[in-house]
Amino acid sequence: MALPNLIIAGAPKCGTSSMFQWLADHPQAEGASTKEVRYFVDADSHVFDPSNNFATGGAAGYARFFPVSKPKAKIRLEATPVYIYQKSALNALPDLPSRPRFLFLLREPTRQILSTYRYFSNNWTYLKGGVSFAEYIELVDAGSQKLRGNELLSNAIENVRYAARLAPWRDRVGADAMRVMLLEDIERDPAAAMVDLAGWLGLDPTFYRDYGFPLENATYRARNAWLQAANVGLRGLIAKTPLYKPLRAVYRQINTSKAPRPLAPDDHAALAALRLRFEGDNQALEQMFGLDLSPWRDGAWDE
């Protein structure tokens, strides 16, 4: 029974899809058949699947996602970024027989919240009616019922108080079994970041000298809301069929743009006010893991 010895456990909208692919492409590593297995999420999560979870399927059910095509792989991995918030993952994953290590990717908090907002406004249809970013933050602060059913939206501000989120993981698995990386460092020099990570994992770092570093799961902006709603409904039906990738490529040519919708003055003001909320949390994170968060302090994140 093959089980992973590396879990990319967080955080959402911090580059975990790209990181999963970059590691899975390494000849000494093998990724899960599904990038986000979501096997250890809590029953109240919006991504919980009653037919696919540890409580009902145990370790044997989890092993189904790790077919062995590289028998000599040093690393087997999956990436479910919501695990960082899940009690089920924290309780069960460290006790797997494979004794996995845990990788957490983090992003400057307001960047992460803005990306989450854009993702669920554009790639999905959770936020309807043209809700602006400033209006969305007001909904979060008010605990609005409009955000119920998606904890990534409703808990967006608490989710990026990273020190509080990671402290239980460090207590549970120990500092040596977890690694924290900043998306900003990876974006600045992906080759250097991956060479360093390869050393921690025991992988041959020379693979990344000429690697292309493709980007995965980028947020897009839908041009037509009606077509996007139809796309959301259809892709769940064809996601695991051979039609999915070619139809997705056609759809994105027709109805998407990589350029985000420009922010209004109220949105910029909301971002500036939001950034002040995380100063203490970021200081605690910096001290807890010996990180250099100067990219977060020095960057201009009104994207």
Sketch the domain layout of the chain as residue ranges.
6-109+158-215+278-298
Q: Which amino acid is at 214?
A: P
At position 8, the amino acid (one-letter code) is I
Residues in the chain: 303
Burial class (CB in 10 A: 0-12, 13-18, 19+), 227: middle
The continuous run of DSSP H or E covering 210 comes out as none
User: Could you tell me the pLDDT band of residue 261, with boundaries at 50, 70 and 90?
Assistant: confident
Supply φ then ψ for residue 206, to 5 degrees: -65, -20
Question: Class for domain 6-109+158-215+278-298, per CATH?
Answer: alpha beta
- What's the distance, Cα to Cα, between the start and end of the chain in Å? 45
Cis check: omega of the bond before 32, within 30 degrees of 0: no
Mean pLDDT of the 254-273 span: 80
3-state secondary structure of 6: strand
SS3 76: strand
d(CA 84, CA 38): 11
Task: Give whole-number Cα distances, 237 to 8, 218, 230, 240, in Å.
Answer: 27, 21, 11, 8
Residue 5's SS3 state is coil
Q: Which helix (H) or strand (E) holds 102?
A: strand 101-106
pLDDT digits (tens, 9 = 90+) for 43-89: 999 999 999 999 999 999 999 999 999 999 999 999 999 999 999 99
pLDDT in tens, 88-128: 999 999 999 999 999 999 999 999 999 999 998 876 667 87
The per-residue pLDDT for 226 is: 45
Q: What is the percentage of the chain residues whose pLDDT exceeds 70? A: 83
Question: Is the distance from CB of 24 to CB of 76 less than 8 angstroms?
Answer: no
pLDDT digit string, tens, across residues 120-154: 887 666 787 689 999 999 999 999 998 988 999 99
The pLDDT mean for the chain works out to 88
3-state DSSP helix/strand/coil % of the chain, to nearest 5 = 55, 10, 35
Could you read off the pLDDT of 193-229 as tens digits, one per residue?
Answer: 999 999 999 999 999 999 999 988 665 455 555 455 5
Is 60 exceeded by the pLDDT of residue 231? no
Strand order in the sheet with 29-31: 29-31, 75-79, 6-10, 101-106, 178-182
Q: Residue 45's closest CA among 94, 80, 1?
A: 80
C-alpha 149: how far from chain center: 18
